Amino acid sequence: MKAKARLSVDERWELVDEISKRVVLRGKYKHTLKDVLSDLSVRPATGIPFMIAVLYGFWMFFGAFAGFFTDGLAVPFFDDHYLPALQGAFPGAGPTMAESSPLYMILVGDPNATNCFEAFGVLTSALFVAFGVVLPAIVAFYLILTILEDCGYLPRLATLADTVLHKIGLHGFAIVPTILSLGCNVPAVYGCRVLETKKQRFMMMTLLGVFIPCAAQIGIMRELIPQYTGLILIYLFFGFFAMGALLNKLIPGRSPEILIDVPPYRSPQRSNVLRKLGLRVRHFLKTAVPFVILGVVVVNLLYWTGVIDWLSRVTEPLFVVWFGVPAATVGALVMAFMRKDMAVGMLGGLASAGVLSTGQLITSVVLVSIYFPCLATFIMIWKEGGTRDLLKSLGVLATSFFVFGGLMHAIVTLAGV
């Protein structure tokens, strides 16, 4: 076959022009209400108040929906009926956890626990956290997110965020992975592919992995410390920007500007919303629930073999002095390797057993949030960025962990919580 002629970029655009001149006929077009609303939602003066309203609606819906299923249904069922029944019926219970059989310890947990956060067994805490707390949060979050995605609000949010994000060397469109990340970090890290340079991709993946908690984790935070969840989120966003600004200075490379493509508003189709919701819930059930269960088994085994006690003793000075939390938090940090939602759930158990004060709970929730991306995210960053980027990410992570954990300790102490 003979070599085909190739055009230069300019020649090609010229040809496009010639063709479209002959085939496209534009009639007189009057602005519709949709266009006006579209315009108003990207102009800062009107767009920012509207954005506040949208985010307010998002948060309130999330709280009411998750609260209904968790506080209204799951908590009474699990704590009042399921847990006592299981503790009574399961063979091998002793007067204390240590005197119970290993199987009892792993599956049921503490025979004297009065709630499912404290018990910490596979059939108690793991099931309760996965289905009673996190599942409703996931459904609520993705229901709203899907509607926002499908109507086309996200690129408008990106346009509004562009000015701020540019200050830290990111394109406004980075807000889209950030929002996705509030659902689950894994697809968000994947979504960083749309960023143009290696620098931007690395920065974004790292910042997402380090600072953005997922819906599962937010759901359980809202259950445990509803009055502080908002503040913790704001603190983490602050960390996101501070670290972003620093990385932007340190890392060589370009942060080019491109225009954000804003598609027209479209009305969400119910079938698509339901299909996507189904896809995401199924993804959660398939990838999260096994890790929650595995995590509880592993952590219980580590307790049983004394590894966690040893770790606690070794790291005690660091935790007590620098972060102001008891060394018992180490167990939760081990859990956080696998699932952060379950790790926060563990902290809730410690708090309800009186081991953690409210201030310490807040600090340790921040620690768990920053500390390490969950296993799935870790693998994703590795796959997308390679070993070098992963190691660099971990460096950023370790730094953030000490700085922002210590800072939170200071804040909590000063505020006297």
Ligand X SMILES: Nc1nc2c(ncn2[C@@H]2O[C@H](COP(=O)(O)OP(=O)(O)OP(=O)(O)O)[C@@H](O)[C@H]2O)c(=O)[nH]1
Give the footprint of ligand X on residues 258-297 (CB under 6 A): 266
Rounded CA separation 173/141 (Å): 20
- Please enumerate in sequence order all residues whose Cβ is within 8 A of that of 53, keeping only pairs 6 or more positions apart, or say none: none
Count CB-CB contacts under 10 A for residue 143: 19
Residue 194 touching other proteins (CB under 8 A):
yes
Residue 150 touching ligand X (CB under 6 A):
yes
Helix residue ranges, H only, 134-184: 135-151, 154-167, 175-183
Question: Which residues ranging from 106 to 165 are in contact with other proteins (CB under 8 A)?
Answer: 146, 149-152, 154-155
Binds other proteins by CB under 8 A, chosen from 44, 64, 99, 164: 64
* 305, 143 contact by CB (below 8 A): no
Question: Which residues ranging from 69 to 98 are in contact with other proteins (CB under 8 A)?
Answer: 72-73, 76
* The Cα angle at residue 69 between residues 75 and 348, in degrees rounded to 5: 45
What is the DSSP code (8-state) at residue 170?
-
Backbone torsion region of residue 265, taken as left when φ is above 0, otherwise alpha when ψ lies between -120 and 50, otherwise beta: beta
Q: CB of residue 225 vs ligand X: minimum separation in angstroms? A: 37
Rounded CA separation 286/311 (Å): 31
The residue number whose beta carbon is nearest to ligand X equals: 266
Rounded CA separation 252/91 (Å): 61
Q: Which is nearer to ligand X, 4 or 193 (CB)?
A: 193
Q: Which is nearer to other proteins, 92 or 152 (CB)?
A: 152
Rounded CA separation 176/172 (Å): 8
Residue 155 touching ligand X (CB under 6 A):
no
Q: CB of residue 196 vs ligand X: minimum separation in angstroms? A: 15
The partner in contact with residue 7, picked from other proteins, ligand X, none with C-beta cut-offs of 5 to 8 angstroms by kind, is: other proteins
The partner in contact with residue 387, picked from other proteins, ligand X, none with C-beta cut-offs of 5 to 8 angstroms by kind, is: none
Size of the site for other proteins (CB under 8 A): 73
Tokens of 222: 């809202």
Question: Which residues ranging from 337 to 396 are in contact with other proteins (CB under 8 A)?
Answer: none
- What is the SS3 assignment for 353? coil
Q: Which is nearer to ligand X, 81 or 266 (CB)?
A: 266
Q: CB of residue 193 vs ligand X: minimum separation in angstroms? A: 11
Q: Which is nearer to other proteins, 7 or 318 (CB)?
A: 7
Helix 226-250 × helix 215-224 angle, to 10°:
140
The alpha carbon of residue 381 and the mean position of all alpha carbons in its chain are separated, in whole angstroms, by 15
Residue 266 touching other proteins (CB under 8 A):
yes
Strand ranges, E, within 42-136: none
* 210, 237 contact by CB (below 8 A): no
Q: Which stretch binds other proteins (CB under 8 A): 48-56, 97-105, 214-222, 238-246?
A: 48-56
- What is the SS3 assignment for 391? helix
* 325, 319 contact by CB (below 8 A): yes
Per-residue interface string for the shown chain with other proteins, residues 268-307, x marking contact by CB under 8 A = -x--x--xx--x----------------------------
Question: Which residues ranging from 9 to 38 are in contact with other proteins (CB under 8 A)?
Answer: 12-13, 15-20, 22-33, 36-37
Q: Which is nearer to other proteins, 110 or 223 (CB)?
A: 223
Question: Which residues ranging from 221 to 250 are in contact with other proteins (CB under 8 A)?
Answer: none
The partner in contact with residue 190, picked from ligand X, other proteins, none with C-beta cut-offs of 5 to 8 angstroms by kind, is: other proteins
Q: Which is nearer to ligand X, 283 or 392 (CB)?
A: 283
Shortest CA distance to 131 belongs to which of 77, 182, 185?
A: 77
The partner in contact with residue 249, picked from other proteins, ligand X, none with C-beta cut-offs of 5 to 8 angstroms by kind, is: none
Q: Which is nearer to ligand X, 78 or 142 (CB)?
A: 142
Q: CB of residue 204 vs ligand X: minimum separation in angstroms? A: 18
The end-to-end CA distance of the chain, in Å, is: 77
Residue 34 touching ligand X (CB under 6 A):
no
* 182, 293 contact by CB (below 8 A): no
**Which residues of the chain form contacts with ligand X (CB under 6 A)?**
150, 266
